[in-house]
Structure 1
């Protein structure tokens, strides 16, 4: 088990989840964002799916598992909160 992913799918999944985190934090601040929030969350969901596929294909990296699981749980809870308690 390495720290970073070794396969191409694992790298794509890891970097897309990192991009999601950066864009989400930038969108929450006062920075003008060129992307709508559904595109940002689409990037996060794609990264989560790619991390799961990489895990199934035997890419057992610590950051791929942790980052993918944390971002996936965050997206699921955020989406559930937005659907249950719209503002």
Structure 2
């Protein structure tokens, strides 16, 4: 009798742990989507600011030049490759 009860409780525990793991995964995905949306909106705001005031662009390019490290990221903004002493 006890072993059946113990077995049932272990099965319930395994099911609860599986549900918990799945819920954590859903939460991670949701948070990642929210973070991506925030980044997109910030980017849209910056692009709008540049379109309204072109004098903002040189400062933005300076910041991008400082911030972007990888060759592929820099290429997106037509920035030259970083030299080793710049990194």
In the superposition, the TM-score normalised over structure 1's length comes to: 0.32
Structure number, greater radius of gyration:
2
In the superposition, the TM-score normalised over structure 2's length comes to: 0.32
Structure ranking higher in helix proportion? 2
